[in-house]
A = this chain, B = another copy of it.
Amino acid sequence: MSPPPAVPDGRRPTLADVAARAGVSTALVSIVMRGVTGASAATRERVLQAAKEIGYRPDSRARLLRSNRTYLIGVQFEIQEPFHTDLVERLYAAAESAGYQLALSAVAAGRSERQAVESLLGDRCEALVLLGPRAPAGRLAELAALLPVVSVARRLRPAVPGVRVVRTADDEGARQAVDHLVSLGHRDILHIDGGRAPGAAERRRGYRTAMNDHGLADRVRVLPGGLTEQDGATAARAILDAAPWPSAVLAFNDACATGLLGAFFRAGVSVPGEFSVVGFDDSRVARLPHVDLTTVAQDIPRIAELAVAAVTVRLEGGEPRTGEDVVAPRLVVRGTTAPR
Protein backbone atom coordinates (compact mmCIF):
# COMPACT_ATOMS: atom_id res chain seq x y z
CA MET A 1 0.00 0.00 0.00
CA SER A 2 1.85 2.97 1.30
CA PRO A 3 5.59 3.02 0.68
CA PRO A 4 7.91 1.56 3.30
CA PRO A 5 9.46 3.92 5.83
CA ALA A 6 11.86 6.04 3.89
CA VAL A 7 14.75 6.03 6.33
CA PRO A 8 15.42 3.68 9.29
CA ASP A 9 14.32 6.12 11.96
CA GLY A 10 11.45 8.53 11.49
CA ARG A 11 13.52 11.32 10.01
CA ARG A 12 12.62 12.80 6.73
CA PRO A 13 15.19 11.76 4.12
CA THR A 14 17.94 14.26 3.34
CA LEU A 15 20.53 14.77 0.68
CA ALA A 16 22.95 12.75 2.77
CA ASP A 17 20.63 9.75 2.78
CA VAL A 18 20.34 9.83 -0.98
CA ALA A 19 24.09 10.30 -1.32
CA ALA A 20 24.80 7.30 0.92
CA ARG A 21 22.42 5.09 -1.01
CA ALA A 22 23.75 6.15 -4.40
CA GLY A 23 27.35 6.06 -3.24
CA VAL A 24 28.16 9.65 -4.15
CA SER A 25 28.73 12.93 -2.33
CA THR A 26 25.96 15.20 -1.15
CA ALA A 27 27.25 17.92 -3.42
CA LEU A 28 26.64 15.73 -6.42
CA VAL A 29 23.14 14.87 -5.31
CA SER A 30 22.48 18.57 -4.97
CA ILE A 31 23.70 19.07 -8.54
CA VAL A 32 21.42 16.36 -9.84
CA MET A 33 18.42 17.59 -7.89
CA ARG A 34 18.76 21.10 -9.22
CA GLY A 35 19.17 19.76 -12.74
CA VAL A 36 22.30 21.79 -13.39
CA THR A 37 25.26 20.52 -15.39
CA GLY A 38 28.07 18.70 -13.65
CA ALA A 39 26.92 15.08 -13.49
CA SER A 40 27.15 12.27 -16.02
CA ALA A 41 23.97 10.79 -17.41
CA ALA A 42 24.62 7.47 -15.70
CA THR A 43 25.17 9.01 -12.26
CA ARG A 44 22.22 11.28 -12.71
CA GLU A 45 20.05 8.26 -13.35
CA ARG A 46 21.39 6.42 -10.34
CA VAL A 47 20.93 9.35 -7.99
CA LEU A 48 17.39 10.02 -9.15
CA GLN A 49 16.58 6.36 -8.65
CA ALA A 50 17.96 6.39 -5.11
CA ALA A 51 16.06 9.59 -4.31
CA LYS A 52 12.84 8.09 -5.56
CA GLU A 53 13.32 4.89 -3.60
CA ILE A 54 13.63 6.59 -0.24
CA GLY A 55 11.09 9.29 -1.02
CA TYR A 56 13.49 12.20 -0.89
CA ARG A 57 12.04 15.68 -1.14
CA PRO A 58 14.19 18.80 -1.05
CA ASP A 59 13.76 20.97 2.03
CA SER A 60 12.95 24.35 0.60
CA ARG A 61 13.82 26.10 3.85
CA ALA A 62 17.33 24.78 3.93
CA ARG A 63 17.65 25.43 0.22
CA LEU A 64 16.54 29.01 0.52
CA LEU A 65 18.63 29.56 3.62
CA ARG A 66 21.78 28.66 1.81
CA SER A 67 21.23 30.28 -1.55
CA ASN A 68 21.35 34.01 -1.49
CA ARG A 69 18.24 34.21 -3.65
CA THR A 70 14.86 32.84 -2.57
CA TYR A 71 12.89 33.66 -5.72
CA LEU A 72 9.90 34.17 -3.49
CA ILE A 73 7.33 36.90 -4.04
CA GLY A 74 5.10 37.60 -1.06
CA VAL A 75 1.48 38.41 -1.78
CA GLN A 76 -0.80 40.10 0.71
CA PHE A 77 -4.47 39.80 -0.20
CA GLU A 78 -7.92 39.87 1.35
CA ILE A 79 -9.33 36.42 1.30
CA GLN A 80 -12.93 37.56 1.11
CA GLU A 81 -12.37 39.94 -1.77
CA PRO A 82 -13.24 38.32 -5.12
CA PHE A 83 -11.14 40.83 -7.00
CA HIS A 84 -8.14 39.76 -4.93
CA THR A 85 -8.66 36.04 -5.34
CA ASP A 86 -9.01 36.48 -9.09
CA LEU A 87 -5.75 38.39 -9.02
CA VAL A 88 -3.96 35.77 -6.94
CA GLU A 89 -4.91 33.14 -9.49
CA ARG A 90 -3.25 35.14 -12.24
CA LEU A 91 -0.27 36.04 -10.10
CA TYR A 92 0.60 32.37 -9.76
CA ALA A 93 0.89 32.09 -13.52
CA ALA A 94 2.77 35.36 -13.95
CA ALA A 95 5.26 34.52 -11.21
CA GLU A 96 5.90 31.05 -12.50
CA SER A 97 6.71 32.19 -15.99
CA ALA A 98 9.12 34.74 -14.53
CA GLY A 99 10.84 31.98 -12.55
CA TYR A 100 9.49 32.98 -9.15
CA GLN A 101 7.27 31.39 -6.54
CA LEU A 102 4.43 32.91 -4.57
CA ALA A 103 4.03 33.01 -0.82
CA LEU A 104 0.45 33.82 0.12
CA SER A 105 -0.54 35.68 3.23
CA ALA A 106 -4.17 36.50 3.76
CA VAL A 107 -5.76 39.42 5.49
CA ALA A 108 -8.85 38.11 7.23
CA ALA A 109 -11.03 38.77 10.24
CA GLY A 110 -8.56 38.70 13.12
CA ARG A 111 -5.49 38.82 10.88
CA SER A 112 -4.27 42.31 10.15
CA GLU A 113 -2.18 43.61 7.27
CA ARG A 114 0.66 44.01 9.69
CA GLN A 115 0.57 40.35 10.67
CA ALA A 116 0.26 39.30 7.05
CA VAL A 117 3.30 41.31 6.01
CA GLU A 118 5.43 40.34 9.00
CA SER A 119 4.89 36.71 8.16
CA LEU A 120 5.98 37.32 4.56
CA LEU A 121 9.11 39.16 5.67
CA GLY A 122 9.97 36.36 8.06
CA ASP A 123 9.74 33.97 5.13
CA ARG A 124 12.44 35.97 3.38
CA CYS A 125 10.37 37.01 0.43
CA GLU A 126 12.42 39.06 -1.96
CA ALA A 127 9.57 41.35 -2.88
CA LEU A 128 6.04 42.21 -1.84
CA VAL A 129 2.92 42.48 -3.93
CA LEU A 130 0.28 44.17 -1.81
CA LEU A 131 -3.28 43.95 -3.06
CA GLY A 132 -5.23 47.04 -2.09
CA PRO A 133 -3.08 47.84 0.93
CA ARG A 134 -4.58 50.11 3.58
CA ALA A 135 -1.35 50.73 5.46
CA PRO A 136 -0.27 54.36 5.82
CA ALA A 137 2.28 55.71 3.36
CA GLY A 138 4.94 55.83 6.06
CA ARG A 139 4.66 52.13 6.63
CA LEU A 140 4.89 51.43 2.89
CA ALA A 141 8.00 53.59 2.72
CA GLU A 142 9.57 51.58 5.50
CA LEU A 143 8.87 48.37 3.64
CA ALA A 144 10.17 49.79 0.38
CA ALA A 145 13.44 50.56 2.12
CA LEU A 146 13.80 46.84 2.76
CA LEU A 147 12.67 45.29 -0.52
CA PRO A 148 10.81 46.00 -3.77
CA VAL A 149 7.16 46.73 -3.09
CA VAL A 150 4.26 47.11 -5.46
CA SER A 151 0.88 48.42 -4.48
CA VAL A 152 -1.89 46.99 -6.62
CA ALA A 153 -5.12 48.95 -6.99
CA ARG A 154 -4.15 51.58 -4.48
CA ARG A 155 -2.85 54.81 -5.83
CA LEU A 156 -0.33 56.69 -3.72
CA ARG A 157 -0.37 60.43 -3.70
CA PRO A 158 2.12 61.76 -3.15
CA ALA A 159 4.22 58.94 -4.54
CA VAL A 160 6.02 56.83 -1.96
CA PRO A 161 9.70 56.42 -2.85
CA GLY A 162 10.44 52.92 -4.05
CA VAL A 163 6.84 51.77 -4.19
CA ARG A 164 5.60 50.95 -7.67
CA VAL A 165 1.87 51.25 -8.24
CA VAL A 166 -0.10 49.06 -10.63
CA ARG A 167 -3.70 50.06 -10.99
CA THR A 168 -6.63 50.41 -13.29
CA ALA A 169 -7.36 53.89 -14.60
CA ASP A 170 -10.24 54.16 -12.18
CA ASP A 171 -11.16 57.66 -13.24
CA GLU A 172 -11.26 56.59 -16.87
CA GLY A 173 -13.45 53.62 -15.88
CA ALA A 174 -15.90 55.86 -14.12
CA ARG A 175 -15.89 58.15 -17.15
CA GLN A 176 -16.72 55.25 -19.47
CA ALA A 177 -19.64 54.33 -17.26
CA VAL A 178 -20.96 57.88 -17.25
CA ASP A 179 -20.49 58.21 -21.02
CA HIS A 180 -22.44 55.03 -21.53
CA LEU A 181 -25.28 56.17 -19.32
CA VAL A 182 -25.40 59.60 -20.91
CA SER A 183 -25.48 58.03 -24.36
CA LEU A 184 -28.56 56.14 -23.20
CA GLY A 185 -30.20 59.44 -22.32
CA HIS A 186 -29.56 59.52 -18.59
CA ARG A 187 -28.82 62.80 -16.94
CA ASP A 188 -29.49 62.24 -13.25
CA ILE A 189 -26.67 59.85 -12.57
CA LEU A 190 -25.81 59.16 -8.95
CA HIS A 191 -22.57 57.72 -7.66
CA ILE A 192 -22.33 55.47 -4.60
CA ASP A 193 -18.73 55.84 -3.58
CA GLY A 194 -16.27 53.56 -1.81
CA GLY A 195 -15.33 55.84 1.04
CA ARG A 196 -11.67 55.39 1.82
CA ALA A 197 -11.25 52.13 -0.07
CA PRO A 198 -8.36 51.95 -2.55
CA GLY A 199 -9.46 53.45 -5.84
CA ALA A 200 -12.52 55.15 -4.42
CA ALA A 201 -11.16 58.67 -4.68
CA GLU A 202 -10.22 58.18 -8.34
CA ARG A 203 -13.59 56.74 -9.30
CA ARG A 204 -15.30 59.62 -7.54
CA ARG A 205 -13.16 62.12 -9.38
CA GLY A 206 -13.67 60.37 -12.72
CA TYR A 207 -17.41 60.51 -12.17
CA ARG A 208 -17.33 64.21 -11.33
CA THR A 209 -15.15 65.10 -14.27
CA ALA A 210 -17.27 63.14 -16.70
CA MET A 211 -20.43 64.74 -15.41
CA ASN A 212 -18.84 68.14 -15.84
CA ASP A 213 -17.76 67.32 -19.36
CA HIS A 214 -21.33 66.45 -20.25
CA GLY A 215 -22.58 69.70 -18.79
CA LEU A 216 -24.22 67.86 -15.91
CA ALA A 217 -22.29 69.47 -13.11
CA ASP A 218 -25.50 70.45 -11.37
CA ARG A 219 -26.72 66.85 -11.41
CA VAL A 220 -23.69 65.48 -9.59
CA ARG A 221 -24.77 63.50 -6.56
CA VAL A 222 -22.46 61.30 -4.50
CA LEU A 223 -23.79 59.02 -1.77
CA PRO A 224 -21.44 57.54 0.84
CA GLY A 225 -21.16 53.82 0.24
CA GLY A 226 -18.58 51.11 0.63
CA LEU A 227 -17.43 47.88 -0.89
CA THR A 228 -19.89 45.33 0.43
CA GLU A 229 -23.37 44.23 -0.54
CA GLN A 230 -24.57 45.71 2.72
CA ASP A 231 -23.28 49.13 1.72
CA GLY A 232 -25.17 48.88 -1.56
CA ALA A 233 -28.39 47.88 0.16
CA THR A 234 -28.10 50.76 2.61
CA ALA A 235 -27.51 53.20 -0.23
CA ALA A 236 -30.54 51.85 -2.06
CA ARG A 237 -32.81 52.73 0.81
CA ALA A 238 -31.32 56.20 0.99
CA ILE A 239 -31.95 56.68 -2.72
CA LEU A 240 -35.54 55.50 -2.60
CA ASP A 241 -36.28 57.63 0.45
CA ALA A 242 -35.07 60.88 -1.07
CA ALA A 243 -36.93 62.32 -4.04
CA PRO A 244 -36.18 63.18 -6.75
CA TRP A 245 -34.86 59.83 -7.86
CA PRO A 246 -31.91 59.58 -10.17
CA SER A 247 -32.41 57.46 -13.29
CA ALA A 248 -29.04 55.75 -13.11
CA VAL A 249 -26.56 54.69 -10.47
CA LEU A 250 -22.83 54.04 -10.72
CA ALA A 251 -21.76 51.86 -7.79
CA PHE A 252 -18.26 51.67 -6.36
CA ASN A 253 -17.90 48.00 -7.22
CA ASP A 254 -19.87 44.93 -8.21
CA ALA A 255 -20.58 43.83 -4.66
CA CYS A 256 -22.02 47.23 -3.85
CA ALA A 257 -24.03 47.19 -7.08
CA THR A 258 -25.33 43.72 -6.25
CA GLY A 259 -26.56 44.84 -2.85
CA LEU A 260 -28.22 47.80 -4.53
CA LEU A 261 -29.93 45.56 -7.09
CA GLY A 262 -31.19 43.30 -4.33
CA ALA A 263 -32.72 46.12 -2.38
CA PHE A 264 -34.31 47.62 -5.50
CA PHE A 265 -35.68 44.22 -6.37
CA ARG A 266 -37.26 43.78 -2.95
CA ALA A 267 -38.67 47.27 -3.07
CA GLY A 268 -40.35 46.33 -6.32
CA VAL A 269 -38.58 48.88 -8.48
CA SER A 270 -37.37 47.47 -11.77
CA VAL A 271 -33.87 47.46 -13.22
CA PRO A 272 -33.18 48.56 -15.89
CA GLY A 273 -36.78 49.79 -16.19
CA GLU A 274 -36.75 52.50 -13.54
CA PHE A 275 -33.05 52.54 -12.73
CA SER A 276 -29.98 51.73 -14.75
CA VAL A 277 -27.13 50.33 -12.64
CA VAL A 278 -23.41 50.05 -13.40
CA GLY A 279 -20.86 48.22 -11.27
CA PHE A 280 -17.08 48.06 -11.26
CA ASP A 281 -14.62 45.14 -11.47
CA ASP A 282 -16.45 42.61 -13.66
CA SER A 283 -16.18 40.05 -10.90
CA ARG A 284 -17.78 36.63 -11.12
CA VAL A 285 -20.97 37.84 -9.54
CA ALA A 286 -21.46 40.40 -12.30
CA ARG A 287 -21.50 37.62 -14.86
CA LEU A 288 -24.13 35.53 -13.10
CA PRO A 289 -27.01 35.16 -15.52
CA HIS A 290 -29.57 36.64 -13.16
CA VAL A 291 -27.37 39.52 -12.06
CA ASP A 292 -26.09 40.27 -15.56
CA LEU A 293 -24.55 43.49 -14.43
CA THR A 294 -23.24 46.20 -16.72
CA THR A 295 -19.84 46.93 -15.22
CA VAL A 296 -16.37 48.34 -15.76
CA ALA A 297 -13.95 45.45 -16.21
CA GLN A 298 -10.47 45.52 -14.78
CA ASP A 299 -7.85 43.75 -16.86
CA ILE A 300 -6.77 41.27 -14.21
CA PRO A 301 -4.27 39.23 -16.26
CA ARG A 302 -2.52 42.40 -17.31
CA ILE A 303 -2.44 43.79 -13.78
CA ALA A 304 -0.96 40.53 -12.51
CA GLU A 305 1.73 40.55 -15.17
CA LEU A 306 2.67 44.15 -14.52
CA ALA A 307 2.83 43.61 -10.78
CA VAL A 308 5.18 40.67 -11.19
CA ALA A 309 7.22 42.51 -13.79
CA ALA A 310 7.54 45.55 -11.53
CA VAL A 311 9.22 43.56 -8.79
CA THR A 312 11.22 41.16 -10.95
CA VAL A 313 12.75 43.93 -13.01
CA ARG A 314 14.03 45.45 -9.83
CA LEU A 315 15.20 42.14 -8.44
CA GLU A 316 17.15 41.48 -11.62
CA GLY A 317 19.12 44.62 -11.03
CA GLY A 318 16.88 47.28 -12.55
CA GLU A 319 16.57 50.72 -11.08
CA PRO A 320 13.98 51.20 -8.35
CA ARG A 321 11.24 52.94 -10.28
CA THR A 322 8.79 54.89 -8.27
CA GLY A 323 5.84 55.36 -10.54
CA GLU A 324 2.70 53.86 -11.93
CA ASP A 325 1.52 51.31 -14.42
CA VAL A 326 -1.97 52.32 -15.30
CA VAL A 327 -4.12 49.72 -16.99
CA ALA A 328 -7.06 50.64 -19.20
CA PRO A 329 -10.50 49.54 -18.03
CA ARG A 330 -13.20 48.33 -20.40
CA LEU A 331 -16.92 48.82 -20.09
CA VAL A 332 -18.92 45.59 -20.35
CA VAL A 333 -22.51 46.30 -21.24
CA ARG A 334 -24.98 43.77 -19.90
CA GLY A 335 -28.57 43.82 -18.80
CA THR A 336 -28.76 46.40 -16.02
CA THR A 337 -28.56 49.47 -18.22
CA ALA A 338 -31.17 50.65 -20.73
CA PRO A 339 -32.20 53.84 -22.51
CA ARG A 340 -34.07 56.27 -20.35
Q: What residues make up the interface of A, taking CB atoms closer than 8 Å to B? A: 1-3, 12, 55, 57-62, 64-65, 79-80, 85-86, 88-89, 92-93, 101, 104-106, 108-111, 118-119, 121-124, 141-142, 144-146, 161, 229, 233, 258-259, 261-266, 284-285, 288-292
Instruction: Give A293 Cβ to nearest chain B Cβ, in Å.
Output: 12
* CB <8 Å contact, A289 and B229: yes
User: Which residue from B3, B109, B146, B258 sits with its C-beta under 8 Å from A145?
Assistant: B3
* CB <8 Å contact, B121 and A92: no
User: Which residue from B85, B118, B123 sits with its C-beta under 8 Å from A80?
Assistant: B85
List of B residues within 8 angstroms of A58 by Cβ: 122
Instruction: With CB as the reference atom, state the residue of chain B lying closest to A77.
Output: B79
Instruction: With CB as the reference atom, state the residue of chain B lying closest to A232.
Output: B289
List of B residues within 8 angstroms of A144 by Cβ: 2
A interface: dominant SS: helix
Q: What separation, in Å, do the CA atoms of A106 and B87 have in the docked complex?
A: 12
A92-B108, A106-B104, A288-B229 known; A59+B124 contact, CB < 8 A: yes
Instruction: With CB as the reference atom, state the residue of chain B lying closest to A120.
Output: B60
Give the most central of A2, A59, A65, A119: most B CB within 10 Å: A2
Q: What separation, in Å, do the CA atoms of A61 and B72 have in the docked complex?
A: 12
* CB <8 Å contact, A65 and B57: no
* CB <8 Å contact, A60 and B123: yes
Known: A88-B108, A92-B106. 6 other contacts (CB 8 A): A57-B118, A58-B122, A65-B65, A79-B85, A93-B110, A259-B289
Instruction: With CB as the reference atom, state the residue of chain B lying closest to A93.
Output: B110
* CB <8 Å contact, B60 and A122: yes
29 residue pairs of the A-B complex, CB under 8 angstroms, read A1-B141, A1-B161, A3-B145, A12-B124, A57-B118, A57-B121, A57-B122, A59-B65, A59-B122, A59-B124, A60-B124, A61-B61, A65-B65, A79-B88, A80-B86, A80-B284, A85-B85, A88-B106, A88-B108, A89-B108, A92-B110, A93-B109, A104-B104, A258-B290, A262-B289, A262-B292, A266-B289, A266-B290, A285-B285
A263-B289, A285-B285 known; A124+B61 contact, CB < 8 A: yes
* CB <8 Å contact, B79 and A2: no
Q: What separation, in Å, do the CA atoms of A229 and B291 have in the docked complex?
A: 11
Q: What separation, in Å, do the CA atoms of A233 and B292 have in the docked complex?
A: 13
* CB <8 Å contact, A161 and B2: yes
List of B residues within 8 angstroms of A261 by Cβ: 290
* CB <8 Å contact, A262 and B233: no
